[in-house]
Each structure stands twice: as structure tokens, then as C-alpha cells.
């Protein structure tokens, strides 16, 4: 009979063991019923009625639902007037195209209520640039997808030098990864991290700008997942690697390496409050505590950002392409040489092509302003 009682308690009193007699089973039921009963949970109907009453006039909404655009997805933070996170999927083919950012303008996202949206006036004179989380450079495939990256729902207040420098080079590295991996997933966003005072206390403090009090992040994050088919064994699982990075929202010089800002996936998840790439199996890999079977991106690929000379040539090339006068064109090339950098073949060809174009556009000397 003791065996029957043990089974009944384990089964919550609903099953009798086949090894005991009917009489023993009845006795066991009596013994079980003699014990104090646990409080009964409310029935589903009761819960439903209570919850319906609580939500009679609706429950608070955060606006953090997933929002989908032509080539990026995001969750918006209505209180900070910035995205919580922005996700992208990159391939080499998707990065091709002729869309030009000169046709795009920063503007409020038409799907964000005006009372929760940042405005361009918030950034004007603030000392902070409008920093893309999904970069315009990832969206040359269509004018629409590029224009949508200029919605202020995709923008955070970012240090100008960081935006144009280190963060720009990190974005370029993500695009470069598509040359070595078939698929690249990127999740980016702002962070407000605590700082420690002299007395050891830690506080979270961040600036806000404009009449809409747009939150200035102390840091930015980027999580990068790459994948390629196994070229040596087609039946094997694809090669995957992941890197997570937290970057201070301040100027960062060329002497700093991307690895200086690498963190574990769990550390990034802990400070952001986000579970990143949740469909990846967990338990080892990815830097030691990330998804199982996923390599460390920096161990696999090196995480080398573009160096000073190469990056300066790249920026000069962009400026040469946008030059509107011969004087500006020559100024750009002279400035490059003053930095001790000689133009490479690509830049020389771009310069000559632009010079010819501007020469044909400008009126002959002595005729300007005639009439």
C-alpha cells in the first residue's frame, strides 16, 4: 500500500498504481484526501473575466512592436525617441545598386505618432549628428529602401567624429563580410550604460536634446552573425560566426582596434535587455558563452577595419565625386597630398573624370554673370 500512496502523491491523486489491489487503491485515495488540499488555481473563465475587467479601457502600449521596412526591421523606443534595435540582412548581391543618398532627406517616420517622434529641429545646433543604425550604404539596391533609412526612427544622436569615422568603418566592415560569407545579419542600437562615480556608486545618466528630449546614447552596439555553406562537406552544417561589440559614443582614433570593443554575446544581452538571435541554439561557442557551434567572428575573420590611408582615400573619393566646382576639386586633391597620401589609380581616374565633367559644365572665363 505504501507503494500506492507514493504513486498517488506523485501523480497528484489521479492515478492508481497497477501493482496494488483495488482495496489498497481505495484506502490510498482516502489517505490522500485526508491530507490538506492545496489551494485551487482560478479557473480559466475566472481569469478571463478578471483580465477583461482590468483591460476594459485598454492596457498601456509601449510602441515597441516590430516595425518592418523595405530592407530593415526595428523596434522603437517612444520614450527616448530613438530605435531600441535595428536589424538587417546583407548579401553581396543586395548591396549592389545605384541609389544615391543625395536624393534622401532626414524626416520623421510617418508611422510613428508625432507625440513620440524626434524632429530635425531637435538635432539642429545640438552638437550631435544624426547617426544611422541601418546605414544608407547598405541600401543601394533601391531608392525606397535607402530613403527609409533616413526616417528618424532609424536615427540616434551620435558624436560626429564617431559617426564619420570608427562607426563608419565598422559599417564598411559589415558590408565587406558579404564578400567572404553568403549571409550577414546585423543588429544595431543605442545603449545607456552606467558610469561609476568617485564614491563607487554607479548611475545611468544621459543627455537629451531638442524640445522632444531625444536621448543621447552613451554607447552603441552592433551584433554581427555571418553564415556560409560548408564548402568541404555539403552535408555538414553551415559555417557560422558571431561578433558582439559595444562602442562608446565619442571620438575613437585609428590606434584602437575593433577587438578592443568586442564583448561576449551574453554581456551585450545583459546590458541591452535583448535576447539577440534567439533562434540560434545556445550553450558554448560564440566567444565561450554564446550559441553552440558558432565561431568567434574575430577569431575566424580577424575583425580588421580599414586603416588610416585606405580610409582617407575612400573619403576623398566620395568628396571628389560630389565636388561642384573645379576649385573645390583641386582643393580636395591638394589636401590629400598635404596629409602625405598619394592618390591611388582609382582616385586618379575619378579625379580626371570629374575634372572633365566640371570643365564642360563651367562657362568660359569672362562670360560669367554677363547680361
CATH number at residue 211: 3.40.570.10
DSSP 38: P
Question: CA nearest 84: which of 93, 94, 74?
Answer: 74
Write down the mean pLDDT value for the chain. Answer: 86
Residue 267, SS3 per DSSP: helix
- Which residue, chain included where needed, has cell 483495488? 22
The two counts, helices (H) then strands (E), for the chain are 12, 14
Same structural domain for residues 50 and 182?
no
In the chain, % of residues over pLDDT 90: 71
d(CA 294, CA 288): 10
Distance set, CA 31 to CA 6, 12, 101, 210 (Å): 11, 13, 79, 72
pLDDT digits (tens, 9 = 90+) for 71-99: 999 999 999 999 999 999 999 999 999 99
Q: Which of 32, 72, 132, 219 is catalytic?
A: 132
- Rounded-to-integer distance, Cα 213 and Cα 75, Å: 19
> Helix crossing, 308-322 with 345-361: angle to 10°?
20
Average pLDDT over residues 246-255: 97
Tell me which of 142-146, 238-242, 250-254 is least confident.
238-242
Annotated binding site: 163
Query: Does residue 304 sit in helix, strand or coil?
Result: coil
**pLDDT (average), residues 344-365:** 86
Kindly state whether residues 177 and 258 are assigned to the same domain. yes
Does 78 share its domain with 116?
A: yes
Would 25 be classed as within a structural domain?
Answer: yes
CA distance 344 to 34: 91
Answer yes or no: is pLDDT of 287 > 60. Answer: no
Domain shared by 103 and 229, yes or no: yes
Strand partners, 124: none
As for how many domains the chain has, the answer is 3
Distances (CA, A) of 266 to 44, 234, 288, 301: 37, 31, 10, 21
Binding-site positions for Mg(2+): 163
Are 72 and 47 contained in the same domain?
Answer: no
Q: Which helix (H) or strand (E) holds 157?
A: strand 155-158
32 close to 15: Cβ distance less than 8 angstroms: no
In this structure, the answer to whether residues 45 and 87 fall within a common structural domain is no
Whether residue 291 sits in one domain with residue 152: yes
Tell me the residue range of the domain where 173 lies.
Answer: 66-301
> What is the pLDDT, as a whole number, of residue 238?
82
Tens digits of residue pLDDT in 37-67: 555 555 655 668 899 999 999 999 999 999 9
**Can you tell me the distance from the alpha carbon of 166 to that of 149, in angstroms, rounded to the nearest whole number?**
20
User: Is 219 an active-site residue?
Assistant: no
Q: Does residue 237 belong to any structural domain of this protein?
A: yes
The lowest-confidence range among 208-212, 266-270, 280-284 is 280-284
pLDDT for residue 18 is more than 50: no
pLDDT greater than 80 at residue 10: no
Least confident of 18-32, 288-302, 331-345: 18-32
- Give yes or no: residues 356 and 276 share one domain: no
- The pLDDT, as a whole number, for residue 282 is 74
Is the model's pLDDT at 358 over the cut of 70? yes
Domain contains 123 = yes
Which range has the worst mean pLDDT, 29-33, 167-171, 341-345, 352-356? Answer: 29-33
Q: Where are the alpha helices (DSSP H) in 189-325?
A: 265-272, 297-301, 308-322
User: Is 147 contained in some domain?
Assistant: yes
Count of beta carbons in the 10 Å neighbourhood of residue 211? 9
157, burial (CB in 10 Å: exposed 0-12, middle 13-18, buried 19+): buried
In a domain, residue 61? The reply is no
pLDDT tens per residue across span 141-196: 999 999 999 999 999 999 999 999 999 999 999 999 999 999 999 999 999 999 99
Q: Do 165 and 247 fall into the same domain?
A: yes
Q: Cα separation of 324 and 357, whole Å?
A: 10
Give yes or no: residues 272 and 288 share one domain.
yes
Residue found by looking up cell 547617426 in the block: 131
Asked whether residue 245 carries a pLDDT value surpassing 80, the answer given is yes
User: Is residue 371 domain-resident?
Assistant: no
Predicted confidence at residue 293, as pLDDT, reads 79
Note whether residue 367 is domain-resident: no
Residue 242 has pLDDT above 70, yes or no: yes
Residue 368 placed within a domain: no
Q: Using one digit for the tens of pLDDT, what is the confidence trace for 103-136? A: 899 999 999 999 999 999 999 999 999 999 999 9
Specify the residue for cell string 516590430: 66
Instruction: Tell me: do 263 and 335 sit in the same domain.
Output: no
> Is the domain of 43 the same as that of 108?
no
Would you give the end-to-end CA distance of the chain in angstroms?
116
Evaluate whether 54 touches 48 at the Cβ level (below 8 Å).
Answer: no
* Backbone angles phi and psi of 195, in degrees to 5: -120, 145
| Residues 157 and 209: beta-carbon distance below 8 Å | yes
Amino acid at each position: 500500500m505504501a507503494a500506492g500512496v507514493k504513486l498517488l502523491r506523485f501523480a497528484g491523486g489521479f492515478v492508481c498504481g497497477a501493482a496494488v489491489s483495488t482495496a489498497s487503491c481505495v484506502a490510498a485515495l482516502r489517505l490522500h484526501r485526508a491530507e490538506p488540499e492545496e489551494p485551487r488555481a482560478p479557473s480559466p473563465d475566472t481569469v478571463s473575466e478578471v483580465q477583461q475587467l482590468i483591460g476594459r479601457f485598454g492596457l498601456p502600449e509601449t510602441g515597441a512592436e516590430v516595425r518592418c521596412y523595405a530592407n530593415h526591421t526595428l523596434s522603437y523606443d517612444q520614450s527616448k525617441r530613438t530605435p531600441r534595435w535595428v536589424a538587417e540582412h546583407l548579401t553581396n548581391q543586395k548591396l549592389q545598386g545605384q541609389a544615391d543618398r543625395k536624393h534622401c532627406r532626414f524626416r520623421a517616420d510617418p508611422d510613428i505618432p508625432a507625440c513620440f517622434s524626434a524632429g530635425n529641429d531637435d538635432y539642429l545646433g545640438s552638437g550631435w549628428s544624426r547617426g544611422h543604425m541601418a546605414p544608407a550604404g547598405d541600401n543601394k539596391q533601391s531608392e525606397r529602401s535607402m530613403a527609409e533609412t533616413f526616417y528618424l526612427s532609424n536615427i540616434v544622436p551620435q558624436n560626429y567624429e564617431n559617426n564619420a569615422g570608427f562607426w563608419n568603418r565598422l559599417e564598411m566592415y559589415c558590408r565587406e563580410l558579404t564578400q567572404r560569407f553568403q549571409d550577414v545579419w546585423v543588429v544595431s542600437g543605442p545603449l545607456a550604460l552606467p558610469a561609476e562615480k568617485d564614491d563607487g556608486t554607479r548611475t545611468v545618466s544621459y543627455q537629451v536634446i531638442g524640445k522632444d528630449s531625444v536621448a543621447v546614447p552613451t554607447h552603441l552596439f552592433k551584433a554581427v552573425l555571418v553564415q556560409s555553406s560548408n564548402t568541404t562537406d555539403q552535408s555538414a552544417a553551415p559555417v557560422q560566426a558571431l561578433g558582439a561589440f559595444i562602442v562608446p559614443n565619442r571620438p575613437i582614433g585609428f590606434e584602437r582596434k575593433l577587438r578592443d570593443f568586442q564583448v561576449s554575446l551574453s554581456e551585450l544581452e545583459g546590458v541591452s535587455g535583448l535576447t539577440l538571435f534567439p533562434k540560434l541554439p545556445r550553450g558554448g561557442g560564440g566567444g565561450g558563452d554564446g550559441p553552440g557551434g558558432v565561431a568567434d567572428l574575430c577569431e575566424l575573420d580577424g575583425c580588421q577595419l580599414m586603416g588610416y590611408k585606405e580610409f582617407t582615400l575612400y573619403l576623398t573619393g566620395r568628396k571628389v565625386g560630389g565636388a561642384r566646382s573645379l576649385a573645390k576639386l583641386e582643393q580636395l586633391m591638394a589636401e590629400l597630398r598635404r596629409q602625405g597620401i598619394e592618390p591611388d589609380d582609382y582616385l586618379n581616374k575619378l579625379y580626371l573624370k570629374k575634372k572633365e565633367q566640371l570643365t564642360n559644365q563651367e562657362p568660359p572665363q569672362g562670360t560669367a554673370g554677363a547680361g
